[in-house]
Amino acid sequence: MPPLSRRSFLSGLAAAGIVPHLPAAAPAPARRPDLLTLENGTIKVGIDRARGAAITWLSSLAYPQNLVNSADPGRLIQQSYYAGRILDRRTDGQSKAWSPWSWNPIQGGGVSSWAEVNAFERRGERTLYAETIPNLWDMPAEPAAALMRQWTEFEPDMPDVLVVRCELVCRRDPGDRWGPAVPRPQEVPACYFTRNFSAVKSYLGEGAWRDESQPPGPPWGKTTPPRRAMACFEPGGHGVAVFSPASDTHHWNFGPHGGGASTDPLAGPCMHVAPVVRAPLGPRSVYRYRYWLVLGSAAQIARRLDALWGLYATERATLTDTP
């Protein structure tokens, strides 16, 4: 089964008249989890050294099961970026399933491979910090010329909210084969939840929600939540929301993959949500943004999203370039 977070890029390829074949990808080799967690009595979050230090655990006192799907390196809750030319590198070993492809560093890893981690630590009682050498998605076990840094923290005075600060540092040769910056879709971030969180809603503000519907994909559904927040709920009413002001007025990808209502974090079926923004990442770009995760009932999440909107509605990603 393909690691699904790549599908957001396919829409851009289709718009350009390029529609690559999408067969099943080989699974990544199994690696023993190495989980570092934070808990505050209300929520628990964990990042996994064996999986690129991406978020692989998220639960709450009310819903103590892990709701993050980690079936392969393309799932998780993680950083995912695209840049440069779309290249056919099959003579170098590029996966036939993902050719041609752009420069695509993935925090979790690439085809049949997990990314390596340089730094992995708890800082006090509120922060998890990690630095990852991401892999390029299309080539087995090829490290990208980049670093990803991530700070995962509790939002002050909101015990049921996490804030995640992300940073991509591109270290490509300016004369490499991918070439100069061109606008590409960026997932800010890519999120995969267990399949039982199947009711998807966009937040409209002041306690109002809009139901979203999409048959199993990919392709994913597309919608533009006016408050830059979407949530997935399971049948018992427990939910997880993503608030990403960096997405601005761009669309979000969302939808289920597979059927059933599995609670298994390693199952093939899952739910996907990804805020999308277009940004031209160059060989030496530094890209930074923040997003928030909120757990609770629809009413509890709505109150938190209204408060977050009041604090952070104008926040955007930053893009700079270094020599």
**pLDDT, mean of residues 231-244:** 98
Residue 29: predicted pLDDT: 67
Query: Considering the chain, what is the average pLDDT of its residues?
Result: 92
pLDDT value at 25 more than 90: no
What is the count of structural domains for the chain?
A: 1
Full-model pTM: 0.92
Q: DSSP assignment of 229-298, as one string? A: EEEEE-TTS-EEEEE-GGGTT--EEEEEESSS----TTSS-EEEEEEEEEEE--TTEEEEEEEEEEEE-H
Residue 135: predicted pLDDT: 98
Task: Give the structural domain span for 258.
Answer: 4-321
Residue 2: predicted pLDDT: 40
Which band of pLDDT confidence, cut at 50, 70 and 90, is reported for residue 8? Answer: very low
Tokens of 273: 């949500």
CATH number for the domain spanning 269: value is 2.70.98
